[in-house]
Amino acid sequence: MIGGFTRLASGELSGRHAYGLPCGCGKTVAVRAWCGTLIRAGLPYSVMITASRIDELDDIYRQLIAEGVPPDAVGLIHSEPAGHRFTPPTTDNQRRQILIVTHMRLKKGGGLDHDELLYRGRSRDVVLWDEACIISSSRGIGFESLAGAIGWVENVAAAGEPDAPLARLARWATRCWSVIQRERRAQRDDPRRKPELLSLPALTERQAAEFRVALLPPRDLLDPLEVLIEIHAEQLRLLGTGQGGGGVLTYTISVPPTLRHVAILDASAPIRELVKEDPTIAVDPWFAGRAIKRYSRVTIRHWRMSGGRQRMEAAFGGRREDRVVSKEIAARVLALGPDEAVLFFTHKKRGKIDMAEVLKGDLRAAGIDLDATVPDPADPEKRLPRFCWLTHGRETASNRYKHCSHVFFVGTTHLPDVAAAGQLVGQRDDLLSPLPHSRIADIQASEKANNIYQGLHRAACRDTVDGEAKATTVHVILWDAKPVALAASLMPGCRIEPWRTEAEAEETRTEAAAEAILAFLGGLPEGTGKVSIKAVKAAYGVAVGHKIWCIARDRACSRAGWKVAGRSLIRG
């Protein structure tokens, strides 16, 4: 990998090359050592290092200085205001041989002029890109959400002045919908017809600004119209209605095409389908299937339950006694030793339910001290939080939680079909390329796998001792088994087990009771049409709670053709 850095910088190698070195195996150390050698040896190569977050950039900057790189040789570009805890951004960066910048600032629309990235008037010799290089930014709107937003605006506008901005917005959006509907009908009437590019009715800059101001609350409902205004002048295409309801989508290339000598340091590259779709990226084959690091002390426990936002909001939205997910997590945490730290990933708050806060309240109610601390493995005199919290989307870059030996993915993010399709055509840089549903499903599964793999590596298994990842237990709530298997495929020796939940145990007891009741009813003398519930319980000694008993009774009656009548069961 380090040799690849040199060959790219010298021009011996060109293009974009992805290196799938596992998490915690020294990517940052390699970057630091290579840059330090570059400066000490007086080599002429210039380098740009890019990463996802400012705190990661700051860590790299500090490590380079500790490596002996002179501060005036390192440029740092970020947008944090003065006085923040991070190292202040530098100036005169064209004179600095090493430049560190975030992905967001580097991409189109990040606010940087091309000249700011140069070294003495020339493009940088090599770019060291941390994590996946997704070259495009896609935007899409589902048909259902767009139709709902347009309908709402039409109804509100009908009660106002016909020349009000909201009324003009409603008329323009209706014309856009007509264009979209014509293409939808054409695709529906001829399934073999290739998709065509769409052009929506034009807006002036003044009209677009006026329409944005006219968008009133509820903004969540009207977000699709804001996106429609934003993308109306771009070329668009449709995704068929048979694919997650369908929608309209577009993309823009956001990574500058002038970056032609790029080393991509992405541990997930071997399983990430979006990376494979980019013809400009070559995944280095040396890392594929090679057991650089073993994970025989890592276990993933999988609860096959829908983990999307909507399902998780429902799971945390009821009464505390009915919140099964909280109960299961509390039971697992209570079984841990007091010095075992835990990292939670939850959905971000959107709307009324803050899932992290609800879970915290339920854990406290179960007698768990969320303010507890544990010794720092690197410095026993130092204490670290026992319970750490991140939201989905924050799975990369940080090593601040590697004292945690347990990880809970409280649900997982799901990439909607329209969003996955937009990223797919963006990576191909071909808006009209085929979008079979099977390929979209592959993208969705690999993105979930990437999130799981990256997220669990924030914890103890990030560290390696004698070629083995440190012991870590991971709990995942997700219906689909494929992403879990994909993530585990990057971790030789990792075990996948079912998460044996109390809900599953309750179902087992319920089914056993139902079978017992069914056997009792089946053994009654022929012609018996009524039996007391007391007699059923006495005959088989069914020792279960009232809730399980009622469910089991109803289940057995349904199968046997009986029904409940007061305190008795009668033939139906």
Same domain, 483 and 545: no
Span of 150-154, 239-243, 446-450, 509-513 with lowest mean pLDDT: 239-243
Give yes or no for residue 247 having a pLDDT over 80. Answer: yes
Residue 93 lies inside a defined structural domain of this protein: yes
Q: H helices of 318-408, where?
A: 324-334, 355-365
DSSP assignment of 43-71: ----EEEEES-HHHHHHHHHHHHHTT--G
Task: Examine the fold and report which residue of 442, 471, 500 is the final residue of a domain before the chain moves on.
Answer: 500
67 touches 88 (CB < 8 A): no
226-246 pLDDT per residue, tens: 999 999 999 999 997 555 578
Nearest to 186 by CA among 177, 195, 178, 199: 195
Structure tokens at 341: 């730290």
When divided into structural domains, the chain yields a total of 4
Residue 145 is predicted with a pLDDT of 92
Pairing relationship of beta strands 247-253 and 126-130 according to DSSP bridges: unpaired
Spatial CB neighbours of 504, under 8 Å, sequence gap ≥ 6 = 498
Cβ burial, residue 423 (10 Å; 0-12/13-18/19+)? buried
| pTM for this model (two decimals) | 0.84
CA 47: distance to chain centroid? 30
353 touches 317 (CB < 8 A): yes
270-298 pLDDT per residue, tens: 899 999 999 989 888 877 667 789 999 99
- AA identity, residue 557: C
Instruction: Give the total residue count for the chain.
Output: 572
Q: In the 8-state DSSP scheme, what is residue 109?
A: T
HEC string for 200-253 = CCCCCHHHHHHHHHHCCCCHHHHHHHHHHHHHCCCCEEEECCCCCCCEEEEEEE
Same domain, 449 and 526: no
Give yes or no for residue 310 having a pLDDT over 90. Answer: no
In which band, very low, low, confident or very high, does the pLDDT at 328 lie, cut at 50, 70 and 90? very high
Angle at 362 between CA 361 and CA 363, to 5 degrees: 90
Please report, rounded to a whole number, the percentage of residues in the chain having pLDDT higher than 90: 61
Q: H helices of 380-493, where?
A: 417-428, 437-456, 482-489
Same domain, 108 and 180: no
Same domain, 186 and 75: no
Residue ranges making up the domain that contains 556: 504-571
Give yes or no for residue 558 having a pLDDT over 80. Answer: yes
477-526 pLDDT per residue, tens: 999 999 999 999 999 999 999 998 877 777 778 888 888 888 888 788 87
What is the mean predicted confidence (pLDDT) over 333-352? Answer: 93
Using CA atoms, how far apart are residues 37 and 44, in angstroms rounded to an integer?
11
What is the mean predicted confidence (pLDDT) over 518-540? Answer: 84
Residue 411 lies inside a defined structural domain of this protein: yes
In which band, very low, low, confident or very high, does the pLDDT at 336 lie, cut at 50, 70 and 90? very high
Average pLDDT over the chain, rounded to whole?
90
Residue 110 is predicted with a pLDDT of 62
134-147 pLDDT per residue, tens: 888 999 999 999 99
| Between 503 and 467, residue with greater pLDDT | 467
Using CA atoms, how far apart are residues 220 and 436, in angstroms rounded to an integer?
30
Same domain, 20 and 131: yes
Q: In the 8-state DSSP scheme, what is residue 322?
A: G
Give yes or no for residue 62 having a pLDDT over 90. Answer: yes
Residue 27 is predicted with a pLDDT of 86
Residue 72 is predicted with a pLDDT of 94
Give yes or no for residue 181 having a pLDDT over 70. Answer: yes
Give yes or no for residue 473 having a pLDDT over 80. Answer: yes
Letter string b/e over residues 424-462, b meaning 16 or more CB atoms within 10 A of that residue's CB: bbbbbbebeeebeeebbbbbbbbbbbbbbbbbbbbbbbb
Using CA atoms, how far apart are residues 503 and 506, in angstroms rounded to an integer?
5
264 touches 133 (CB < 8 A): yes
Q: Which is it for the CA torsion 159, 165, 166, 170, positive or negative?
A: positive
CA 531: distance to chain centroid? 54
Same domain, 492 and 532: no
Give yes or no for residue 352 having a pLDDT over 80. Answer: yes
Same domain, 474 and 325: yes
Spatial CB neighbours of 383, under 8 Å, sequence gap ≥ 6 = 373, 374, 375, 376
Same domain, 98 and 185: no
Residue 541 is predicted with a pLDDT of 65
Using CA atoms, how far apart are residues 232 and 203, in angstroms rounded to an integer?
8
Letter string b/e over residues 488-503, b meaning 16 or more CB atoms within 10 A of that residue's CB: bebbbebeeeebebee
What is the mean predicted confidence (pLDDT) over 120-128? Answer: 94
Span of 283-292, 459-468, 522-531 with lowest mean pLDDT: 283-292
Same domain, 310 and 421: yes
Three-state SS at 177: helix
Same domain, 363 and 445: yes
- AA identity, residue 302: H
Residue 293 lies inside a defined structural domain of this protein: no
269 touches 132 (CB < 8 A): yes
Residue 206 lies inside a defined structural domain of this protein: yes
What distances in angstroms separate CA 467 from CA 25, 33, 292, 405, 470, one per listed residue? 10, 21, 7, 18, 10
Domain of residue 322, CATH code: 3.40.50.300
Residue 551 is predicted with a pLDDT of 87
Pairing relationship of beta strands 47-51 and 237-239 according to DSSP bridges: unpaired
Residue 292 lies inside a defined structural domain of this protein: no
177 touches 248 (CB < 8 A): no
Same domain, 166 and 103: no
Nearest to 63 by CA among 399, 388, 457: 399
Q: Which is it for the CA torsion 224, 225, 227, 233, positive or negative?
A: positive
Span of 16-30, 339-353, 435-449 with lowest mean pLDDT: 16-30
Residue 20 lies inside a defined structural domain of this protein: yes
In which band, very low, low, confident or very high, does the pLDDT at 111 lie, cut at 50, 70 and 90? low
Structure tokens at 572: 């139906």
Q: In the 8-state DSSP scheme, what is residue 199?
A: -
Same domain, 475 and 436: yes
Nearest to 73 by CA among 56, 87, 94, 53: 94
Residue 10 lies inside a defined structural domain of this protein: yes
Residue 340 dihedral angles phi and psi, to the nearest 5°: -95, 115
376-406 pLDDT per residue, tens: 988 888 999 999 999 998 887 678 899 999 9
In which band, very low, low, confident or very high, does the pLDDT at 527 lie, cut at 50, 70 and 90? confident
Q: What is the chain's alpha carbon radius of gyration, rounded to the nearest angstrom?
A: 29
